[in-house]
Structure 1
Amino acid sequence: MGEQTEFRGGDKAPNNGIYMEVGVRDHIMGIENPKQIQMNKGDTFPNTQNDDRVWLNKRRVQPK
């Protein structure tokens, strides 16, 4: 099994890093001014701005 890459509010961060809010269905337009947070291993993710978004490690986010 691989490591989880998408996180929701209340999940714990698996690694230190910058995490970015991305849309589940934002393949064309993207999110304007997405939230970015600095997390340490074991920190709890805050809730996203709406239910169709998840947290993703910024190094995994592909530019639009």
Structure 2
Amino acid sequence: MGEWRQFSPGDTAPNDGKYIEVGENDFHMGINDPQIITLVKGEAFPQTSNHNRKWIRRKA
């Protein structure tokens, strides 16, 4: 089984790292000023700027 790719507010981070907000249509238009956060394994994801957004791990 693989790891989840998208996370909702309240989920816990599977690994240390930077995470960025993505939206349902971000592959078409992108998001203006997405939140970027740094979490430690086990920390909870904060609320997103918009209810349609999720968190994903930011690539280096």
Tell me the TM-score normalized by structure 2: 0.92
* Distance in 2, Cα, partners of 1:24 & 1:40: 25
Deviation at 1:5, TM superposition (A): 0.9
How far apart are 1:44 and its partner, in Å?
0.3
Cα RMSD (Å) of the superposition? 1.2
Unmatched 5+ residue regions in structure 2? none
Equivalences, count? 60
- 1:2-21 aligned at under 5 Å gives the runs 2-21=2-21
Structure 1, gaps ≥5 residues long: none
Distance between the aligned counterparts of 2:36 and 2:27, measured in 1?
19
Flag as ranges the 4+ runs of structure 1 deviating above 3 A: none
Using structure 1 for the length normalisation, give the TM-score: 0.87
Aligned to 1:48: 48
